[in-house]
């Protein structure tokens, strides 16, 4: 796992980078300027950990560009991808749930640009900046809801439904229109997909290969394009498990 020290490497940032993002959208330029001036900016390579599970939660972050995988390590040492976070969202917000250590690892799925602040400023932001707290806790609620939905899917759905629904979620979150469908706009391997759906790599590979032959998806060099979203919606319809 790559790890790098935090240092300021990007040029002077314009206030427009934050002014349209929900946690800061109610603030004036002077306030945003103050927030940016208190931040550290960093460009991370794909495969680099922004922070790691179990480490002291010393900073919180705003993902300006790129995609991040949230990874948990099981008690047996197995790596599980819990969530994907697109640009424009806060991460590393352990303070919001009363934790002093990060509960997961944030791994860059692509080259990413991130702002961060010392964790002691969290309370300052919550107290002094209108809209920051509601949006931060809304983000937290959405993520907890997504995790809850995945638990329900694992408990109630067949493997085919889980994998189809995972692709649809990723398509909705990060999809971009291409010639033959909607491409999930960051590298995702079959191993990543198996972790997201609590499914074996063999089963995911078998399903994706079959769907590719049917023209539902295209898969090439860690890129997946959904060619027939409606067909995946049909496959993903909830169907209770019989086992």
Find residue 72's DSSP bridge partners: 80
Is residue 57 situated within a structural domain?
A: yes
DSSP characters for 149-166? HHHHHHHHB-HHHHHHHH
Of 153, 184, 218, which one is at a domain's C-terminal end?
153
| Strand 2-3, strand 48-51: pairing | parallel
Q: Each residue of 135-158: pLDDT tens digit?
A: 999 988 988 888 888 778 877 789
Alpha-carbon span 218 to 225, nearest angstrom: 5
- Over residues 40-47, mean pLDDT: 93
**Residue 239: per-residue pLDDT:** 55
Q: Are residues 182 and 202 in the same domain?
A: yes
Name the least confident of 46-50, 77-81, 209-213, 218-222: 77-81
- Helix (H/G/I), strand (E/B), else coil: 68: strand
Of 124, 153, 182, which one is at a domain's C-terminal end?
153
Q: Are residues 132 and 187 in the same domain?
A: no
Q: Are residues 134 and 214 in the same domain?
A: no
Q: Are residues 14 and 105 in the same domain?
A: yes
Question: How many CA atoms are closer than 13 Å to the CA of 15, on its beta-carbon side?
Answer: 13
Q: Rg of the Cα trace of the chain?
A: 19
Q: Give the number of domains in the chain.
A: 2
- Of 68, 66, 64, 85, the closest CA to residue 20 belongs to 64
Q: Are residues 115 and 185 in the same domain?
A: no
- Over residues 165-178, mean pLDDT: 90
Q: Are 195 and 79 in contact (CB under 8 A)?
A: yes
- Of 27, 15, 38, the closest CA to residue 132 belongs to 27
**Residue 237: per-residue pLDDT:** 83
Q: Does 243 have pLDDT greater than 80? A: no
Find residue 225's DSSP bridge partners: 183, 218
Alpha-carbon span 12 to 142, nearest angstrom: 32
Q: Are 78 and 72 in contact (CB under 8 A)?
A: no
The pLDDT confidence band at residue 82, using thresholds 50, 70 and 90, is confident
What's 213's domain CATH number? 1.10.10.10
Domain extent, residue 107, equals: 2-153
Q: pTM of the entire structure?
A: 0.77
- Helix (H/G/I), strand (E/B), else coil: 22: helix
What's 138's domain CATH number? 2.60.120.10
**Residue 10: per-residue pLDDT:** 55
Of 129, 153, 177, which one is at a domain's C-terminal end?
153
Q: Are residues 130 and 221 in the same domain?
A: no
Q: Are residues 101 and 199 in the same domain?
A: no
Q: Are residues 149 and 203 in the same domain?
A: no
Q: Are residues 209 and 121 in the same domain?
A: no
Q: Are residues 82 and 163 in the same domain?
A: no
Q: Which residue has the higher pLDDT, 195 or 94?
A: 94
Is residue 80 situated within a structural domain?
A: yes
């Amino acid at each position: 796992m790559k790890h790098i020290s935090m240092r300021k490497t990007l040029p002077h940032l314009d206030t427009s980078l934050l002014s349209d993002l929900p946690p800061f959208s109610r603030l004036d330029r002077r306030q945003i300027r103050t927030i940016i001036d208190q931040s550290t900016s960093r460009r991370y390579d794909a495969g680099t950990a922004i922070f790691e599970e179990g480490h002291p939660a010393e900073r919180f972050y705003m993902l300006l560009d790129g995609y991040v995988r949230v990874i948990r390590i099981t008690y047996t040492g197995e790596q599980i991808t819990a969530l994907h976070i697109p640009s424009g969202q806060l991460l590393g917000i352990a303070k919001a749930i009363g934790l002093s250590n990060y509960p997961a690892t944030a791994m860059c799925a692509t080259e990413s640009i991130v702002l961060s602040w010392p964790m002691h400023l969290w309370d300052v932001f919550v107290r002094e900046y209108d809209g920051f707290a509601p949006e931060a806790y809304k983000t937290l609620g959405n993520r907890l809801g997504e995790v809850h939905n995945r638990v329900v899917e694992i408990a109630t759905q067949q493997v085919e439904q889980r994998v189809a629904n995972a692709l649809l979620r990723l398509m909705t979150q990060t999809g971009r229109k291409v010639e033959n469908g909607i491409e999930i706009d960051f590298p995702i391997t079959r191993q990543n997909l198996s972790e997201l759906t609590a499914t074996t790599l063999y089963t995911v590979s078998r399903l994706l290969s079959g769907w590719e032959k049917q023209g539902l998806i295209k898969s090439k060099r860690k890129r997946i394009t959904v060619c027939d979203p409606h067909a995946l919606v049909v496959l993903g319809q909830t169907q209770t498990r019989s086992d």
